[in-house]
A and B are shown apart, each in its own frame.
Chain A
Amino acid sequence: MTFDDETLGAYVDGELDQTTVAEIETAATRDAVLAARIDKARRLKGLLGGAFASVMAEPTSERFMRVVAGAPAPTSAEIIRFQGKPKAAKPQAAKPVSRQAGSGAGLWTMAACLAAGVILGVIAPWKTTTTETTLSPNRAVTVALNRQASGPSAGPVRIGLSFKAKDGAYCRTFSTGATAGLACREGQTWAVRAAAPAAVVADTAYRTASSETPQAVLDAVDAMIQGEPLDAQAEAKARKAGWK
């Protein structure tokens, strides 16, 4: 009985059924050439397992620690909440945190604390309920979200674009120089659904430095948007109607 290289490879990779395995092993006891071919395939696999062993052995660099730690950990849950793995949130962090609009602290302080080069992450918008943590933008951002048209601005806050989310609420992206984010209308107020440091995006080699809105925020927009962003006319109309 003969076995081709692909079959012998699958044998070494543990991908064959028991019958074929038994056939190969029986044949190999009598066929030295077959046994040598199996040995060769095994040795190759062993050699490959040692590839870049020195890279594997390097201790975790601070760079990657920072990248991984940059995502919201439980201690950050009062500011930014990730969807997905509820066990990540400790009970005390899961308590609703209400922030007064205009307190001036909150998001911006948090953003300033972040190490450069990390992405803060995105809040899943579709699971937000009143019992979950929400974050209100500060007064300057709230004013801009309410009144300012998308595009360049002389003020401290720039609005990127406006759109209607799949749940029907109006949402707008904003940036303040240090931080960029996405806020959506919830009742009479705006709730921040995603935020990330704005300037550090340019540090990442594979992103374009020209984009003012960080990828994390753009991803959140992609996940939430219904149709296209509002044009100037539709935006003005929504603004006059109080974003309802």
Chain B
Amino acid sequence: MTTLDSFQTDLLDLLPRLRRLARILAWEPADADDLTQLTLERALVRRDQWREGTRLDSWVFRMMKNAWIDEVRSRQRKARVLTPPEFGDNVADPGSATLDARLGVSAVERALAALPEDQKLAVAMVLIEGLSYQEASQLLEVPMGTLTSRLARGRAALQATLLSEGAQP
């Protein structure tokens, strides 16, 4: 067995967060794991582009975001086999709620899945991954004002779903 170097162990340390982000983006567990693998492969191939002293997490997150946008989503569009974004709109449907419970999907996860993708990314980077606005706007390649407005809209939608009267988070 080979010994892992520090870059590799740092990547493994990031793995739980990468898998979470992949689930937020891709939703389906199998697609999320494929996205995670693709991201790890790209990170390893391009490791010479990472500057030591900068955040490895945002560097890899950016790679995952790009991998998602470049390859996976276009593939999904063609295949149309994956859960569509409107999945989250079906939370009132008893059938899907039962399925969710069986799969252990929480209301938070469903609410996230229902967000438009740009809001979802902003929420994931700032509210879940804890990046600063500055880091998130660089990573998502949008101006700061765009990031904060997406964040505000995402937050408002999530609060309405999860924290309004009668909601059961």
Contacts and interface: CB of A to CB of B under 8 A. Distances in A.
A-B complex is real: yes
Interface of A: 5-6, 9-10, 13, 15, 40-41, 43-45, 47-52, 54-58, 60, 63-65, 67-71, 73-76, 82-85, 87-88, 118-119, 121-122, 124, 204-206, 215-216, 219
Contact of B40 (A51, A67, A83): A67
Contacts of B59: none
A206 B8 contact: no
A149 B34 CA distance: 37
Given A41-B155, A69-B2, A54 B48 contact: no
A60 B8 CA distance: 13
Nearest to A45: B127
Contacts of B163: 40, 43-44, 47
Given A56-B17, A60-B15, A63-B37, A84 B48 contact: yes
Contact of B2 (A13, A50, A75): A75
B22 to A, nearest CB: 9
Interface bin, chain B: 35 or more
A47 B112 CA distance: 11
Given A63-B37, A119-B44, 10 more contacts: A47-B163, A51-B128, A64-B36, A65-B12, A67-B37, A68-B44, A73-B4, A85-B6, A87-B6, A119-B45
Interface stretch (B84-92, B94-102, B144-152): B144-152
B16 A51 contact: no
Given A13-B126, A63-B37, A85-B5, A124 B48 contact: yes
A55 B19 contact: yes
A6 B166 CA distance: 24
Contact of B37 (A43, A49, A64, A121): A64
Nearest to B51: A84
Contact of B47 (A5, A9, A85): A85
Q: Which of A71, A122, A216 has most B Cβ within 10 Å?
A: A71
Nearest to A223: B48
A71 B8 contact: yes
B103 to A, nearest CB: 10
